[in-house]
Amino acid sequence: MEVETPYLQAAPNLDPHVDPFRVEGGLFLHTSPEYQMKRLLGAGAGDIFQICRVFRKDPATPLHCREFTMVEWYRVGEDYRALMEEVRELVLFLARGLGVGTSLKVGRRGIDLAGDWYAFSISQVFRRFAGVDPLDMDEDAFRRHLEGKGFRLNGGESWETCFHYLFVAQVEPALGLLDRPVFLYHYPAGLSVMARISREDPRVCERVELYIGEVELMNGYSELTDPREQKRRMEEELSRRGEAWPLDRDLLEAIGCMPPAAGAALGLDRLIMVLMGGDDIREFLLDS
């Protein structure tokens, strides 16, 4: 079922590395419709989707705009693995519908959409392209490794920051050399505020991202449905940010009523850019 939810929220989305716009009256523009859609899930709406504008305090780059279009959807009774197959079907459907076929050129690399897509856990992709497993490293070991690779550090970088540095510097460029789309899954547990912890390995969560070339297109996960754990994680994220922002109490109540589900968010402008052979998202939308 298609839904439409408010763009203005009394409490902001709390995602690492995603900053919201605060507007008059102490309200926030949503960075994703996630919180409001989960309120609908908790009320029994079932499978839902939404195509909407979202707003993020990002600098303008070839892959980032402050305002863009997102498609977000939720599947009741499914987990992150179902999202991988569903988004593959969606990309293929759109590629054929746009008349571009199943062979793309992203950057200088040809991408085959028709064959099997790659799928790597975060441990696998780091070992393959960066030579380390982040799950085996504490903050000190991570800093020493980065310094050995020539990174200039101040000594106070968190484990999360070290992970991000190495991912951007070595993993993402390697993804750009692959000849097929790639799913990355089983992210470290501390990097996802709202994803369910894996039953197979408590060090990781059931989160998946889709990359085509170096372009990240989709983020999804098996949903956390424990309101106490969700509250703890959100308070931890607020503490890390040092902000006195309110928590979304309606969301926490809804999470306690949610059925098991999986949810995904996909940047529609980025996907169109990739399918049409572009390399700058600003060529595919008007930016204020």
110-158 per-position pLDDT tens digit: 899 999 999 999 999 999 999 999 999 999 999 999 999 888 888 888 9
Class assignment of domain 8-115+228-283?
alpha beta
Nearest to 135 by CA among 144, 150, 125, 149: 125
Report the alpha-carbon distance of residue 38 to residue 41 in Å, rounded: 5
Strands 215-222 and 8-9: unpaired
Residues of the chain scoring pLDDT < 50: none
What is the three-class DSSP state of 104?
strand
User: In the chain, where are the structural domains located?
Assistant: 8-115+228-283
**Which residue in the block uniquely carries the two structure tokens 């997102």?**
70
The pTM for the full model equals: 0.94
DSSP E strand stretches across the chain: 8-9, 22-23, 27-29, 48-55, 67-76, 103-106, 109-112, 118-121, 182-185, 207-212, 215-222, 261-267
- Output the pLDDT for position 286: 77
Report the alpha-carbon distance of residue 75 to residue 92 in Å, rounded: 20
- Output the pLDDT for position 106: 84
Collect all residues with Cβ–Cβ distance below 8 Å to 132 and sequence separation of at least 6.
126, 145, 166
